[in-house]
Chain A
Amino acid sequence: MKANIVIIGGGISGVSIAYNLAKKGVKDIVVFDDNYMTGGATGRCGAGVRQQWGTLMNCKLAKMSIDFFEHAQDTLEYHRDVEFKQEGYLIVATTQEEDAQFTKNVELQNSVGIPAKKLTKEEALKIVPHLNPDIIISATFCHTDGHLNPFLMTDAYFNAAKKLGVQFFYREKVLDIVVENNQIQKVITEHREVLTNQVVNAAGGYSREVGLLAGIDIPVYSENHEILVTEPVEKIQGPMVISFSKNIYCQQVPHGSFIMGRSNPLVAHDHDTRSTHQFLDEMSKTATTLLPPLGNLRVVRQWGGSYNLSPDRQPIISGTKELPGFYMACGFSGHGFMFAPVTGLLLSEIILQQPLSIDITDLYIDRFKNQGETAYETSVV
């Protein structure tokens, strides 16, 4: 078969890129994914969407993505509820360093129109009364941050893209990308060969490997981030609560259950996504310390998923000088789900050589050649 563009990866980034290209009139778009829909990082994420970041680029990407999510249900004409809820993110400071950093972050966020605010401890406790008052110093809050169902958001893009003619092949692994004379010739999967000159790498945890299939060395790696969910209970918490210093994010989703996760600084750089009892122990301690009443909730399930980390913890949304026709959206460092609308829009603009909605030259892969000159994102759990 022939294709104008082959997208590798049918997670949230891949479906958004496919939708945006198709909407701009591109025909013969084919998407391959070696798993079921949302079987990768998208379906394993914490389902939060936020704009409170520490770098200018991330703030801009996030703001534009939230603007899209506010109308996504209608824009994509989706027949199920994507469960978008805007009850904010409350990011708590537990050290003086964090308190000072957060003041700067809020200034940065406000400068691009993100309505974040610095709060005193007392103000934070009004929003989430069950926070442990002995631990927090201050907080920041953005009321337009929130929650979105990753499975259904992906399904919404998938359905919209399908209606525009995009072909999807889930459970079909890409084995090779054939390059000759510095031009992409074809993509070989388990079941077929596709003649094409353009490939998009949206392979999430496996984007480094997909880059290597085309001979492109992308400086990203994957690591397991674990997460758990409790039984559903009546609503007691509106916003997502995050502490970078205590290493926790925790929200009550519209369904009623609490989802919470934390990172393990000693985790190996690989594709492991298994669950450990060490995570369960550490997560339980952290959650019950910061949010004591949650101790009474039963854990019903835990799982893991890959963060795909870039050197500066900001995404790589880019073409390549080395290989024309090869594009990538990867290295989201745990935040690919919430940036998906703008990822799809910007990459479609790059591919079609249209003016960019946001100048993202700072997110091109070339930035890593000038060592030490990129902005580093510290607001990551």
Chain B
Amino acid sequence: MNKNDVIICRCEDVSLQDLLDVLEEGYTTMEDVKRILRIGMGACQGNTCGLLVQREIAKFLQIPMSEVKPQKVRPLVSGVKLKSIVENAKHES
């Protein structure tokens, strides 16, 4: 299958070929490819693409997947509307 047609990151529309190109350039950690390609910065925050990217990095570097450090997990767990946060902040005070 054409690697341009394989989507690795659905939120940010990044193909397998995009990822392989960046790996070839020398960016071979989750944190680096995230910042160049936006992989893991979309609505899923890496929950969907994270393992796929980890696997591709492991294949590229020929190391076990367990040695590829996952990206830093940041809040929020899922998207919350700003106005919902305002409403609930009011209930607390």
Contact = CB atoms under 8 A, between A and B. Distances in A.
A285 B89 contact: yes
Q: Is the interface of B mostly helix, strand, loop or mixed?
A: mixed
Given A36-B31, A151-B36, A301-B75, A294 B82 contact: yes
Contact of A275 (B31, B75, B89): B75
Contacts of A294: 82
Interface in B29-86: 29, 31-32, 35-36, 38, 41-43, 45, 74-76, 79-83, 85-86
A281 interface: yes
A2 B89 CA distance: 57
A303 B31 contact: no
Contacts of A230: 82
B45 A301 contact: yes
A298 interface: yes
Contact of A302 (B31, B35, B43, B76): B76
A298 B80 contact: yes
Contacts of A284: 82-83, 85-86, 89
A39 B75 CA distance: 17
Q: Is the interface of A mostly helix, strand, loop or mixed?
A: mixed
Nearest to B72: A303
A296 B81 contact: yes
Interface in A223-271: 229-232, 255
Nearest to B26: A162
Contacts of A288: 82-83, 86
Contacts of B45: 300-301
B83 A37 contact: no
Interface of A: 36-39, 43, 80, 151-152, 155, 229-232, 255, 275, 280-281, 284-285, 287-288, 294-303
Interface of B: 29, 31-32, 35-36, 38, 41-43, 45, 74-76, 79-83, 85-86, 89, 92
5 contacts: A36-B32, A281-B86, A295-B86, A298-B80, A299-B85
